[in-house]
Amino acid sequence: MKMMNKKVSVLLLILLSVLSAVNGQEKSKEKQIPDIPGYITLKCDFHMHTVFSDGKVWPTVRVTEALNEGLDAIALTDHIGKGKPDTDVIKNLNRAFEIAAKEASGTGLIVIRGGEITFPMPPGHFNALFLEDVQKLVTNDFSLAFEEAKKQDAFFIWNHSNWKSPNKKWEQDGISIWFDLHSELLDKGMMMGMEVVNGMSYNLEAHRWCLEKDLAMIGTTDIHQPISFEYDLSSEHRPLTLVFSKERTENGIREALLNRRTAVWFEHNLIGKEEFLAPLFHESLKVVKVIYREQIAEVVLKNESAVDFILENDGDYSFFNKTNIFVVKAGEKFRLGVKTGEILDQFSLKFKVKNLYVSPEECLLTEISCNTQ
């Protein structure tokens, strides 16, 4: 055992220092999303698996992956009551958390103890976060599992509601159905958030229900394999929940979730309430400079986020160098020639931000104020 560690000490110390250089590169994979006034924006993945259920990696791997991608918090949520044969891995649903928390110690990454309450639909699968003892939720009776989680003061998320039980007669059509049981769970405080995005799937019904029933919008990977198997991290990011938190702590995250201060970052889309998306956009797309060249206003804008914005002109002025709709790439600084007709001290640009969704069909409307220098 010691020998092993010793080997690590020599062969790997150099290796690790090399890796630290590589990590330097990986740093650039860390995708930026700005804070918003009053809150820190935390990048969180609340749904992941390890070898302690049907995942394919040791819990430490989830920590390294999260650090490589610049995440702020993760929850390991192995299936409760499902997974590998007992002849391979001992079922102790607290182990993934324990191992990961130890690995993350000192890194700043927040690891949340959780589990996936796994039953056929209804109720389907629910993540319970902030548990004290996951093992106590092991039971064949779903209501007992929910009650135990409630007792532990869990935050409940209805996962991939568009996935139906195969032992029922209906088939998979990707459309979520709301059962009476879900109303019951909602009333009992056993449904506080929903996955609007799970892996590659966007769930339109869940999006609607979150708005109707004031649930936290959640985006997760539900990752089982090493993350690099499913995302090309040099060009993509994993789906995430953005949590607008008062502080960078587990308690901060819990408070934000309870108050529904979340948004979902899925590919180049942001999904959330206008009260969060509007400031997020304004902290992302900054006016760097406004000057007139003859009577054309040159507005220099900088997209400081990792999101490509699709902007549609919704204002009174047309642009000298752009058509009605255009994409502002992540990190891009660009010039917009605004045909204001005359020289103005102040004017506004109005845009529909087509890939920022305040509802499944509505995008963010926004105004950018420009003061001539």
Q: Considering only residues 201-220, where is the footprint of a second copy by CB under 8 A?
A: 201-202, 204
Q: Which of 348, 354, 339 is nearest to 371 (CA)?
A: 348
Judged by CB, which is closer to a second copy: 163, or 178?
Answer: 163
Buried b (16+ CB within 10 A) or exposed e, 41-54: bbbbbbbbbbbbbe
Q: Nearest-CA neighbor of 241 among 33, 46, 30, 37? A: 46
Residue 245 or 313 with smaller CB distance to a second copy: 313
Q: In the set 57, 76, 242, 243, which binds a second copy (CB under 8 A)?
A: 57
Distance of CA 118 to the CA centre of its chain: 22
Interface with a second copy: number of residues (CB under 8 A) = 100
State which of positions 282-341 bind a second copy (CB under 8 A). 293-296, 298, 308, 310, 312, 318-327, 333-335, 337, 339-341
Nearest to 157 by CA among 183, 184, 134, 127: 127
Burial class (CB in 10 A: 0-12, 13-18, 19+), 166: exposed
Residue 150 or 320 with smaller CB distance to a second copy: 320
Contact set for a second copy, span 100-119 (CB under 8 A): 118
Task: Give the residue with the Cβ less far from a second copy, 60 or 143.
Answer: 60
88 binds a second copy (CB under 8 A): yes
* Residue ranges in 162-201 that form contacts with a second copy under rule CB under 8 A: 162-163, 165-167, 171-175, 198-201
Contact flag: residue 271 with a second copy (CB under 8 A): yes
Closer residue to a second copy (CB): 187 or 342: 342
Tell me whether residue 3 or residue 373 sits nearer to a second copy (CB atom).
3
Provide CB contacts within 8 A for 298, sequence distance 6+. Answer: 289, 290, 291, 292, 335, 336, 337, 338
Residues 5-34 that bind a second copy (CB under 8 A): 6-7, 9-11, 13-15, 17-19, 21-22, 25
DSSP characters over 197-213: EETTEE-HHHHHHHHHH
Give the C-alpha separation, 271 to 254, whole Å.
20
